Structure 1
Amino acid sequence: MLVDNRIKFRHLVGFLEVARLRSFAKAADAIAVSQPAISKTLKELEEILGSRLFERGKSGVVLTSAGVAFLRYAGPCVQALRDGVNTLRGDDRAGGLVRVGVLSTVESQVVPEVVLRLHRQHPALVVSVATGPSAHLLAQLRVGELDLVVGRMTDSPEIRGMTFEHLYSESMALVVRPGHPLLGIAPDERGALADYPLVLPLAGTTIRQHADSFFVQAGIPQPLQRLETLSPALSRRYVLCSDALWLAPLDAVRLDIRAGELVELELGIREPGGSIGFCFNSALPLPLAAQWFCEELRQVAGELGASSIT
C-alpha cells in the first residue's frame, strides 16, 4: 500500500512537537512558525488521515486514540530520516545529545562507566543527566523531556504505558564506617541497630519499599533517628562522619566496600532489591545518541551489574 504523498515532513514534525509539548503555541515556537501556521498544518494532516489527532483539555492538548496510534509510527519515521541525514553527512559517530534520567541505584558505578565509554567513541556527544525520584523522572519521560530513565522503577505506577528492559537484579547492603561499634555483633543482638541513626531512601520511592522489607525480614524496628535522601554523596559523607547505618543499593557502595572505606554489616539477610533496567517511551522517537547509550548500557550492565559480582 502506497503512502499518501500529500503527507509532508512538516506535517510529521508539527504533529510530533504538539504531541511532545501538549501545546500548539509552544510547538510553534519550537519549530519557529506562527501558531496559525502549525494549526493549519495539523488540520491538513487530520484531513489527510481522516482522523482527529488532538483534543483540547484543561491540562493542554492531548492525543486522541488515533493520535496515540499515529505517534508510534510518525516518531520513528522522523528520527530514522534525521539519523540517515546525519550518517551521510559523516556526523553519525561524532556527536548528538542524549537526555537520561538516572536513579541513585546506578548513579555511582554503572552510568559513569557508560558515559566514559561513549565519550571515548563520540568526541562531540553531550550526555545530559537528570536525577531525582522515579515518579518525577518517569513523568518527564512521558512528555518527551527525557529520552530514557535508568534504575530501579518497576514498582512505580508511572511506568505504565512505558517500555522497560531488565538488565540485572541488585540487592541492598547495610553499610557502616570502618571501626563501627556494631561490627561483629551476633545475630541475636540485632536489636542494637535501633540505637543508631539510619540513612534510608526517600519515602514513597521504589527503593524505599525494598529498604523497609529488609527491616521486616530482620525482625527489628527502624531507628527513630533517620536521614532520608536519594543522594549517595550525602549518605556516604554522613555515614563516614558518624555511627549511622546506611541501607544502600549495592551498586552505590560496591566500590567503597572494595576499597575498605565502608564495611558491610553482616546480618545473615540479603534483600533481593528488585530489577534494574532502563525505560523509554516507545510512542516517541529514540534519538541515535540515546540508542548508543542503550547499547553501551547493556554491555556495562553485563560486566558490572550482574548479581554475581562482589
Structure 2
Amino acid sequence: MLNARIKLRHIQAFLEVARQRSFARAAERMSITQPGVSKTIRELEEITDASLFERTPRGVSLTEAGLTLLRHAGPALRALEEGVGALGEEHAGSWLRVGALSTVESRLLPEAILRWQASMEGESGVSVVTGPSAFLLSRLRRGELDLVVGRMTEAREILDLSFEHLFYQRLVLVVRSGHPLADKAHLEPHQLMGFPWVLPPPQTTLRQRVDSFFVRHGLELPTSQLETLSLPLGRYYVQGSDAVWVAPEEAACGAVDAGVLAELALPLEERGGSVGLCINTSLAPSLALETFCETLRGVASGIP
C-alpha cells in the first residue's frame, strides 16, 4: 500500500533530479529553489527509508534504491497523466511520443508516420525526439516516450524493456561523388586514413561498431573528425569535402542511387545490426500505439 505521506510533488521532484542529474538544473526546470528540491528529496528519502541519490564529480547519480524507484515511478506518473487527460474532451484524438535513432530517420519512420496518420480517424499527432539510444531508452523507461525505434540491440540500456526486431541494417562508408577513393574497386583500410571522417559520437552503439573496425584493422582514429548523429550535417559536410562518412545504409542509399554520394568498396560490417522497436511493457499500450507498431511492421516488411 502506498504511504500516504508520499505526495505527487515528491515523485515529480525525484523524476526531474533523476532526469537532470543535478539538483540545480532540476530546480530551474521546476521553477522552484534548489533548497526546495533538496528538501523534497530529503523528505522522500526519510519516508522510504532509502538513499536515492549520491553525489559524483558530475552531479548526482541514482543509487540502487533510486534505480528501483525510477523503474516504477516514471510509468506510474505517466499513467496518471493519461488518466487525467482522458477525462477531458479537449484531449480527444491520438498522440504519440516516439524516440528515433538516426538509423530510421530517413525512411522507416517518416513513411510509417505518413501511413499511420492517413489511417487514423480524427486528430492525430506525433512528437519525435532524437538522440543516442541511452538517452531515448532512459526516457522510455521513465514513461516519457511511448516507444523507441532504431538500431539498438547493442545498447546496455534495453534491460527490462521489450525489443522487437524488424530488419537488419548496415553502417556503410560513404564519400562524395568524384572523391579520390570513390571509383576504386578494391580498398585497404589504411587507404582511408589520409582523409577526415564523420563519426557517431563516443558512447553510442554505432560508435562501438566503428571502434571495432579500427581495432580489427590495427588503425588509429583519424586526427580530423566530425562527431555527430545529425544526418543532414553529415551529408552536407561530406558532399563539400573529402571526408569519409560512417552512415546508416538507409540514410545514404537515396543519395548513392542519385549519384551524389558513393559507397566505398570496403565493408565496415557485413550483416549490420538489428533495427526494431522498443516499448515499455510496464505501461498498457494505447490503441494508437498498437496501430503505429503494426504500421512500422508493414513498412519494414518492404525494406530489403
TM-score range, shorter chain: 0.5 to 0.7
In 2, the alpha carbon distance for the partners of 1:63 and 1:57 equals: 6
2:104 counterpart letter in structure 1: V
1:187 alignment partner, SS class: coil
Point out the structure with max Rg over C-alpha: 1
Q: Which residue of 1 aligns with 2:100?
A: 102
Maintained 8 Å contact 1:214/1:271 = no
Equivalent position to 1:164, from 152, 162, 165: 162
In 2, the alpha carbon distance for the partners of 1:252 and 1:230 equals: 11
Q: Which residue of 2 aligns with 1:7?
A: none
Q: Which residue of 1 aligns with 2:124?
A: 124
Residue 248 of structure 1: CA displacement?
1.1
Q: How does 1:63-142 map to 2 (within 5 A)?
A: 94-98=93-97, 100-120=98-118, 121=120, 122-131=122-131, 133-142=132-141
Q: Which residue of 1 aligns with 2:202?
A: 203
The percent of aligned pairs where both chains have the same amino acid is 38
2:237 alignment partner, SS class: helix
In 1, the alpha carbon distance for the partners of 2:54 and 2:220 equals: 47
- Computed over aligned residues only, the root mean square deviation of the Cα atoms, in angstroms, reads 4.6
In 2, the alpha carbon distance for the partners of 1:302 and 1:200 equals: 31
Maintained 8 Å contact 2:101/2:151 = yes
Structure 1 runs (4+) greater than 6 angstroms displaced = 11-19, 51-60, 62-65, 74-93
1:209 alignment partner, SS class: helix
Cα distance, 1:164–1:211 mapped onto 2, change above 3 Å: farther
Cα distance, 1:110–1:294 mapped onto 2, change above 3 Å: farther
Cα distance, 1:160–1:182 mapped onto 2, change above 3 Å: closer
Cα distance, 1:181–1:135 mapped onto 2, change above 3 Å: same
TM-score, length of structure 2 as denominator length: 0.67
Maintained 8 Å contact 2:174/2:262 = yes
1:239 and 2:238 aligned: yes
- Gaps in structure 2 of 5+ consecutive residues: 18-26, 31-39, 41-46
1:124 counterpart letter in structure 2: S
In 2, the alpha carbon distance for the partners of 1:275 and 1:251 equals: 13
Residue 162 of structure 1: CA displacement?
3.1
Residue 238 of structure 1: CA displacement?
0.4
1:119 alignment partner, SS class: helix
Per-residue CA deviations over 1:71-125 (Å, capped at 9, x if unaligned) read 87x9999989998999999999833343x22111112221111222222225332
Q: Which residue of 1 aligns with 2:180?
A: 181
Cα distance, 1:93–1:269 mapped onto 2, change above 3 Å: same
Cα distance, 1:189–1:273 mapped onto 2, change above 3 Å: closer
In 1, the alpha carbon distance for the partners of 2:52 and 2:222 equals: 51
Q: Which residue of 2 aligns with 1:155?
A: 154
Cα distance, 1:244–1:160 mapped onto 2, change above 3 Å: closer
Q: Which residue of 2 aligns with 1:303?
A: 299
User: Which stretch shows the higher mean deviation, 272-281 or 215-224?
Assistant: 215-224
- Gaps in structure 1 of 5+ consecutive residues: 5-10, 30-38, 40-45
In 2, the alpha carbon distance for the partners of 1:225 and 1:249 equals: 21
Cα distance, 1:200–1:76 mapped onto 2, change above 3 Å: closer
Q: How does 1:51-66 map to 2 (within 5 A)?
A: none
Residue 207 of structure 1: CA displacement?
0.6
In 1, the alpha carbon distance for the partners of 2:204 and 2:194 equals: 25
User: Which stretch shows the higher mean deviation, 188-197 or 82-91?
Assistant: 82-91
TM-score, length of structure 1 as denominator length: 0.65
2:198 counterpart letter in structure 1: V
Q: How many residues align?
A: 278
